[in-house]
Structure 1
Amino acid sequence: MKSPEKLPFVKVYDGYGHSENLIVYGHLLQKQPHVTLNYEKNGLLQNIWQLIKLFKVKPVPYAKVKLTFESQSVEAITASDGFFKIELTPQHHLAAGWHALEVHAIDDNGNEISSSTGKVFIPHLSQFAFISDIDDTIIRSFSAKIFKRLYELISRNPAKRRLFDETAKQYNLLAFSFAKDKLPNPFFYVSSSEWNLYDYLKNVFKVKKLPEGIFLLNQIKRWKELILTGKTGHDGKFLRIVRLFKAFPNQQFILLGDNSQKDPEIYAKIADKFAAQIFAIYIRNVRNSRADDAQMLLEVHSTNGIPVCIFKDSKEAIEHGIKIGLIDANLPADFA
């Protein structure tokens, strides 16, 4: 029997769904990336090496994996890059909140040779749901400039990454305002960053006390493509958002992004298709030269009844959220 170090590693990402369908994503890799997150040290060479490890992955293509949820199971085959998407219809109604699951790697003889645990989130249908970009919306990333973005990644570990002022406060207010049964409003973090950065981003969010959420990232890259991180086309981002709207047709969504790249155009296209499901759109102005373009692109949807806020500081977005009934002005100071 192979030692655990030589068995394939099942990487499971937090999934989402409702009582009629659960969706779980992940990758099957030849081995688990061994990354040490030491927040006490922030040396450039150490950060570079840790980042390379995240991209030094070897996917296992066209292999069988099995999702186990309660007494049910369903199998799938990994794609050419080791990626898998598994959907399952639960046998009974599921309460809102997090639910545990397992995903197993299956060999040619049908044996389970390795496994990892995961979880899926079921929101209340009456809750607001938030779809947010990450780079330059939450984290200062300079995504429009390849080398500046790369420098931010390699020069700062997760504890040292910089958020925009009051962003954590803004997002926690959104998460806990009018939350039902003390269950935070769901966040879906949809980004052009690659799946390689999943654990890195999860740690940034944990350290910076941002709301827990579902990360929907871009196609995995190898270490030779590290310089191109975040530079995959934006069509995939549009499709991931569309899938969320179709998965939750009765949910009211709030879109949060920035004008450094394509968020205004993507959100305008989404608003064309799903206007009745959008409660508001927020765009952080990080490029003054594009502020008017973003406003012009989105204001047509504002006239159709969708509030649009182009903001520079999170304080402006918070005030706007209170005004339109998105944020509870009476939320206690220790709400989070």
Structure 2
Amino acid sequence: MWFLKKADPLQLIGFQTYGTDTHLYIKGRALEDENIDLSEKSVLGLLVNTWKRFETDVVGNSKLILKLPDGKEHSFKTNREGYFYLYLTGSNLRAMCNKEGWLSYELSFADTTVKRKIIQENRFPGEMLIPAVEADFGIISDIDDTILHTGVVSLLKWRVIYNTFLKTPENRIPLKGASDFYHLLHRGCGGNNANPIFYVSNSPWNLYRYLEFFLKNNNFPRGPILLRSFRALFKKAASWELSHKYHEIQNILKTFPQLSIILIGDAGESDADIYREIARKYPKRILAIYLHSVKHRKKMDRIRNLYKDFKACPVLLVENSDQAIEHARKNGFIK
């Protein structure tokens, strides 16, 4: 039976992160491989997949090895929840990147036997993005109801639950034209730039593979996917200033002080408040804010009020991607 405990192989998931020419940042998690079928379509199968995502068997306090393309190796450990974080300073890391700025690396368990399990395939890939020097700007985008229909403004969040737990990522519908818009931004006004895109979401890391598959399956440009811990879902921040998303955006701005940013989100939750404060705090860094409209009159009225006399940067409430593309083209962001 599916609910009986079985001996699962171990895996290392390297999350797509970002760094600089002199700073390497690796993040991920060591887990038992539950063999989740992302193409599963039956209701029972989808429920089983959901259970597997959140009933994670982690590999805590385990020694790992990072191997870089130049052959250098670094040792580190997972924490008790199976997460691993590695910050290293170096030089000329960009020389190891491909033309899009991605640095590929390899992870492995230091011991071939962990938790009394023999690790047969002990090579796990990962990637870190170092934005190209030639990048015109960067893009920071929300995921839920910005590029992916989720239903955050639905009654009691029932659409969020249904869409996330009872739909395969293969059947999730992206917002019309969003992928085309993001590719245009990625290529920039020259048409061949490699402007970095950072996907920042309030979803937990348990959904990393799910969201990674969705972005790839719907032809969105690759970019770091920045989520939060499952435990944080139950700890409501005292204010949006202390939220995961606000913190992540500030980290990106501080990591790349010469990079201007376009912010993309939706009008359903706290994106508007966070983006307004970020633009106020970094007035010369934010090129524009695009907020996808939601079908909720009170929320839309609040957003219009919030930006009524705002002049730090252009702000556009859009019904569809065509409106955003037209605005971006007029402002010289895209070709």
CA distance in 2, matches of 1:156, 1:211: 22
Aligned: 1:130 with 2:139: yes
1:164-219 Cα offsets, whole Å, 9 max, x none, are 22222222221223367x45321110000111111111111122112111100110
Counterpart amino acid of 1:98?
Answer: W
Aligned: 1:285 with 2:293: yes
Q: State the Cα distance separating 1:269 from its structure 2 match.
A: 2.2
CA distance in 1, matches of 2:112, 2:41: 44
**Which residue number corresponds to residue 163 of structure 2?**
152
Q: State the Cα distance separating 1:107 from its structure 2 match.
A: 4.8
Q: State the Cα distance separating 1:139 from its structure 2 match.
A: 0.7
Q: State the Cα distance separating 1:108 from its structure 2 match.
A: 12
User: Any conservation in 1 of the 2:190–2:334 contact (CA below 8 Å)?
Assistant: no
Q: State the Cα distance separating 1:276 from its structure 2 match.
A: 2.1
User: Any conservation in 2 of the 1:192–1:232 contact (CA below 8 Å)?
Assistant: no
Q: State the Cα distance separating 1:288 from its structure 2 match.
A: 3.1
Residues 75 and 295 of structure 1, relative CA distance in 2, 3 Å threshold: farther
Residues 81 and 322 of structure 1, relative CA distance in 2, 3 Å threshold: same
**Which residue number corresponds to residue 41 of structure 2?**
42
**Which residue number corresponds to residue 55 of structure 1?**
54
**Which residue number corresponds to residue 3 of structure 2?**
none
User: Any conservation in 1 of the 2:63–2:76 contact (CA below 8 Å)?
Assistant: yes
Residues 33 and 165 of structure 1, relative CA distance in 2, 3 Å threshold: same
Q: State the Cα distance separating 1:19 from its structure 2 match.
A: 0.7
The TM-score normalised by the length of structure 1 is: 0.83
Residues 212 and 299 of structure 1, relative CA distance in 2, 3 Å threshold: farther
Identity %: 30
Counterparts of residues 217-232 of structure 1 (less than 5 Å): 217-220=227-230
User: Any conservation in 1 of the 2:60–2:82 contact (CA below 8 Å)?
Assistant: yes
User: Any conservation in 1 of the 2:17–2:226 contact (CA below 8 Å)?
Assistant: no
Counterpart amino acid of 1:176?
Answer: R
Uncovered stretches (5+) of structure 1, i.e. residues with no partner? 329-336
CA distance in 2, matches of 1:37, 1:25: 23
Uncovered stretches (5+) of structure 2, i.e. residues with no partner? 1-6
Q: State the Cα distance separating 1:244 from its structure 2 match.
A: 0.9
Provide the secondary structure at the position in 2 that maps to 1:212.
Answer: coil
Aligned: 1:202 with 2:201: no
Q: State the Cα distance separating 1:37 from its structure 2 match.
A: 2.6
The TM-score normalised by the length of structure 2 is: 0.83
CA distance in 2, matches of 1:232, 1:204: 27
Is 125-134 or 68-77 further displaced after alignment?
A: 68-77
CA distance in 2, matches of 1:281, 1:77: 39
**Which residue number corresponds to residue 28 of structure 1?**
30
Aligned: 1:244 with 2:221: no
CA distance in 1, matches of 2:51, 2:104: 31
Is 93-102 or 243-252 further displaced after alignment?
A: 93-102
User: Any conservation in 2 of the 1:299–1:308 contact (CA below 8 Å)?
Assistant: no
Aligned-CA RMSD value: 2.8
Q: How many residues end up aligned between the 2 structures? A: 311
Q: State the Cα distance separating 1:232 from its structure 2 match.
A: 6.2
